[in-house]
Structure 1
């Protein structure tokens, strides 16, 4: 027996010495489930590879050479699920699915899964999926997009991918995956309880219940504990066995034959009937949650010993003895051969290069570019001035015509045409399959978009109100914006997210319909955020956002000021001063390009969104005071070109930054910093922001926000004209 064997490894070696193996719960044979004995041996070898990777990860960590020890021990039955699928079926994997990964790699030429996974454990730059940025189970060749610490956040995009397969077929377009593919999404019993998981499961059942194709196999790997919290016995089955729209199947994950039987049936239903299946795989967690987890603190010795006796490697060895004509020496040769191979590879990979510089780490935050797919526009352009909402509606119609792979989705955007009429008549024009009325769940809406984008489409999603984003923002932060980063640009999910937001709505909604909290969007690496102040700019920003998504595979958010959707006038009722002509199909406003009104050199008002409209109104009063000013519109609230901002205000005596978001965490902080860093003296600068408050209902709705009067007052104070 090896002197450096870990406890569970010692138990296996003792069983091997005695040639004594536990029986599975069911007395199945390979013949009964349609599996060749050679396949059983192959699956078992994949399980051994996974187990020895877990052991190697812990040994490497103890030496300071490895950085990830959440292993797959006890879950290795998922190798049989991999065998039931095609290697080109997209698989969104739980972090305990190394055996699945290894087994799938056997079906694709040129793969070296042991080395690849060890490179990932050791954070080596040659890791073929993440480039050393994180330990992830992912591979372009294996149709496995990377997932990191998947606490259910990958389920919505798996649902979206399932919908995308049928949609691509209907549109007659080729995508990332085969039209007849099946999506596999795996997760644990603890993650099953997460609201994100429940939302995705509900969305898949909701779609299937209405007859929409949803070929997804939801694989719940139930080890009965979430770190230290037990899962109530029978809870998962009771929750899912009668779930509308979803088939329920169960299997013993310790038994390769039973798992193969159930997985094959699950895949058959999903592939042939295009319906979702919940595959409940009972398994066991060995070695604790991770290397740092001392499960003795919360599990009794009897429980730990009982779990160790349920090791799938012990059960699998017994299957080989009975059904694969493999004797004790043959099993020993398999076990030790894999152990030595993994150990040798581990010593080799720890000498490979690792990331060191910020530039190396950040190289894949922005996805790679690709060829654009826009078709020429041959329709008319509306020269008559109109509102922001109307300009957006016309731009969306034009974009949907020019881009056959463009799809819209959101609450009430189809039949109703959106809460504010921005998407009116688009569903009638393009069909319910391209202008999708979704269920009321922002996590599912964003997940749908991620799945559509990753599959080859370009989605335009609508979040009805900015406040509604906050319960789903991790779909942008933890999923959409990280995919390129964790896959070295091999996987992308381009998308445009339209969000109705900001304040100044009159007599409606209070905080949840007047929300000025955008900091959560602005600090996501790689995410682009735009905010139009008028109809012409809205067209330019939207058309640029779609180009960025289509050609540069970016994730772009457009915050649309609700209060300006239907605003027609600037200074007086009926003047039409805030209506603009359609600037045309080729009008785009690149990231960082500023808008500008006026050439005055005494004062520059730097602002965005509603602030532009307010500043233009305040300018009339200030100009009457004799102030020569200009108004600058940021347009883009991330990736700000600070050199361009500095150049735009360099010849102005004073700069007033008007920010309708709260003083803390607002874009004005970045603007002040950028200007001061470029030599603009602090005494030339002032900020006017919203108060540190939520927005109330009724007449006080604008009391905490910048106003025309407060802009005039702040400008006068900055110019030393307080008595004007």
Structure 2
């Protein structure tokens, strides 16, 4: 499966197993979503369980919170992560706080899916990576898959979870495979699958990172598209880097991170979002706090520019293998 097919299959599995699961958002019904992630769901499950909404992100999320408090399990789509800001108040002030404010009487089993990052030359209003805005909020869980297998397993786990989940889908990986060895797109919309995806129901546990490339020289922390870039950079430089795919940013698997950094003594953090106040800053601080006496070099960060998202220069904006490779070499020289 491609990641799109895996995400669609995850929703179909969840809707088949639980009649309380509903899917809605802008153009997700008859049209099947702007990226076709929900294609065929309305035809299979009916217009009462997969339906279109007005262009009103606050209304989409607010309605979903009410449904979740009532006992349903909404899985809603925000067409692009860039569009989520009108719904931010609903997410932060209502969904994230509902369990605590009600002393556990109400929960918000709600999943908010949204395409994130660049790769389609969508410019600054279709290409942002806002994950740090959600990891800052107590009560939310934030997930970023890097491959179709995890996308399906993590999405089913998110839908079945009793807390609100922000599920960010890197659009550069939607139709894969992503060629991480280049700083420019190479057939970026190839239809070849990235990997095998099991049929039927399975879950990938939230809060568990995974080592994608074992190594002994330096630990690289990445998620989403940057996992593939980090692996490509390690192989291009010949540095024996251990690449960890975080998968879930909150809750964060600090045990896996600390075990790796303690062993390697070096760490580089890679993400597509802007550098300042990005999630990489939190990762760097946690590594410094937990692994200080094991570090043999400063924790490095490779990220996007601190500018509005560029349109024509987006492949320069992305951390590519060359920039990540330079950071690996700097860590080894430290």
| TM-score, shorter chain, exceeding 0.5 | yes
Aligned-residue offset at 1:601: 0.3
Partner Cα distance (1:462, 1:718) in 2: 39
Q: Does 1:450 align with 2:102?
A: no
Q: How does 1:50-199 map onto structure 2 within 5 Å?
A: none
Following superposition, the deviation at residue 510 of structure 1 comes to 0.4
Q: Contact (CA 8 Å) 2:178, 2:228: kept in 1 or not? A: no
In the alignment, structure 2 segments of 5+ residues that lack a partner are none
Say which of 309, 314, 323 aligns to 1:695: 309
Residue of 278, 290, 294 corresponding to 1:678: 290
SS in 1 for 2:55: coil
Structure 2 residue 231 is matched with structure 1 residue 616: yes
Q: Residue 487 of structure 1 aligns with which residue?
A: 102
2:116 is aligned to 501
Partner Cα distance (1:702, 1:571) in 2: 12
Question: What do the CA deviations read for 1:510-553 (whole angstroms, capped 9, x no partner)?
Answer: 011000222221111110000001111101210110121xxxx2
SS for the counterpart of 1:473 is helix
How many Å apart are 1:488 and its aligned residue?
A: 0.8
Give the deviation of 1:571 after TM superposition: 5.9
Q: Distance in 1 between matches of 2:250 and 2:288?
A: 18
* Corresponding position of 2:333: 720
Verify the 8 A CA contact 1:534 1:578 in the aligned structure 2. no
Q: Does 1:563 align with 2:172?
A: yes
Give 1:395-544 correspondences, 5 Å limit: 395-503=10-118, 505-507=119-121, 509-544=122-157
Q: Is the 8 A contact 1:618 1:712 kept in 2?
A: yes
Match 1:669 to one of 281, 294, 299: 281
Distance 1:472 1:432 in 2: 24
**Quick check: which has more Rg, 1 or 2?**
1
**Cα offset for 1:560?**
0.5
> Counterpart in 2 of 1:658?
270
Q: What's the offset of the Cα at 1:682?
A: 6.8
Residue correspondences, number: 326
1:393·1:423 contact (CA, 8 Å) conserved in 2? yes
Post-superposition shift, 1:692? 1.0
Match of residue 295 from structure 1: none
Q: Deviations over 1:52-79 (max 9, x none)?
A: xxxxxxxxxxxxxxxxxxxxxxxxxxxx
- Residue aligning to 1:374: none
Distance 1:569 1:657 in 2: 20
For residues 193 and 262 of structure 2, what CA distance do their matches in structure 1 show? 28
Per-residue deviation, residues 427-457 of structure 1 (Å, max 9, x unmatched)? 1111111001001100110011011111111
The answer as to whether partners of 1:608 and 1:634 remain within 8 angstroms in 2 is yes
By how many angstroms is 1:588 displaced?
A: 2.0
1: CA distance between counterparts of 2:120 and 2:201? 35
After superposition, give the CA deviation of every residue in 1:114-141 in whole Å (9 maximum; x if it has no partner): xxxxxxxxxxxxxxxxxxxxxxxxxxxx
- Structure with more relative contact order (C-alpha pairs < 8 Å, separation 6 or more): 2
Question: Residues 621 and 427 (structure 1 numbering): CA distance in 2 closer, same or farther, change over 3 Å?
Answer: same
The alpha-carbon deviation at position 653 of structure 1 amounts to 3.8
Q: Which residue of 2 aligns with 1:392?
A: 7
Distance 1:682 1:642 in 2: 19
The alignment yields a C-alpha RMSD, in angstroms, of: 2.0
1:339-350 equivalences in 2 (<5 Å): none
Partner of 1:592: 207
Match status 1:639 vs 2:248: no
Deviations 1:201-260 (A, max 9, x none): xxxxxxxxxxxxxxxxxxxxxxxxxxxxxxxxxxxxxxxxxxxxxxxxxxxxxxxxxxxx
1:414–1:424: 8 Å Cα contact kept in structure 2? yes
Tell me which residue corresponds to 2:163. Answer: 554
Aligned mates of 1:583, 1:547 — CA distance in 2: 18
**Distance (Å, rounded) in 1 between the aligned partners of 2:283 and 2:151:** 22
How far did 1:395 drift?
Answer: 1.5
CA–CA distance in structure 2, aligned partners of residues 542 and 424 of structure 1: 16
Unaligned runs of 5+ in 1: 1-385
CA distance in 2, matches of 1:717, 1:433: 55
Closer, same or farther: CA 556–387 of 1 in aligned 2, 3 Å: same
When the two structures are superposed, what TM-score results if normalisation uses the length of structure 1?
A: 0.43
Cα contact 1:642–1:671 (8 A) shared by 2: no
Q: Distance in 1 between matches of 2:297 and 2:241?
A: 18
Change (3 A) 1:720 1:670: same
Give the CA deviation at 1:554: 0.6
